[in-house]
Homo-oligomer: A and B are copies of this chain.
């Protein structure tokens, strides 16, 4: 009997907690995570994590709600191999080895720094390796910034695409925005994208200066945080009523032409 690989959602406050904690306090895990997921997190002896340090911080927050079934130091946390940029790795990462506990019958977890693992985040290769080994994979409910942003946008939720990051170079970025607007108009498909927080304003400005005036643009910033907000407007209206975007808080951008 093999173990289950649980895909554990994390909160969306990664990286912004330190900036805001002094005034607002750490959001309780139960604001955004179901007790069902927290209970499973509290009992798992083995983890694969995007980052071991933030996984330990997550488990400390779990412990405040449901006591961990063993001391934190006794819990195994192994990091996902980092993607090799540029040069190909000399050999493919040994993902099967990371799944050894599940093959030996233990339940284990996969966790990223924010949101659902393997969605706009690493982990998909490990999930695929788990399927190849015929391990049971179960994704647990939790916050997804993309779906929260899509729901809050009021744009088409019956047809949508997440396209990740746009090119940074100006001309390539403009060309990509025009292609996404054209695709959105043709297929009536909402296009969602994200950006590194310190480039939020640059992306917003590129969208506003490139898109047609009657294309709708929605921005959700700091989702699930007390300071979070969502606005959905035409490009013309965004230009008429500009709005400051924080450069230290994740945002999701959605457009529908």
Binding site for B on A (CB under 8 A): 7, 28, 30-36, 116-121, 123-131, 136-144, 146-164, 189, 220, 223-224, 228-233
Contacts and interface: CB of A to CB of B under 8 A. Distances in A.
B159 A147 contact: no
How many protomers of this protein does the assembly include? 2
B31 A127 contact: no
B141 A148 contact: yes
7 contacts: A7-B152, A34-B142, A124-B157, A127-B232, A131-B231, A139-B149, A141-B144
Contact of A137 (B146, B152, B159, B162): B152
Given A30-B35, A31-B35, A128-B232, 14 more contacts: A31-B34, A32-B34, A34-B34, A120-B158, A124-B154, A127-B151, A127-B153, A129-B154, A137-B154, A138-B152, A138-B228, A140-B148, A144-B144, A147-B147
A152 B124 contact: no
Given A32-B36, A146-B147, A232-B131, A155 B223 contact: no
A127 B154 contact: yes
Contact of A160 (B128, B162, B220): B162
A93 to B, nearest CB: 14
Contacts of A162: 159-161
Contacts of A148: 116, 139-141
A118 to B, nearest CB: 5
Contacts of A28: 36
A230 B159 contact: no
Contact of A157 (B119, B151, B228, B231): B119
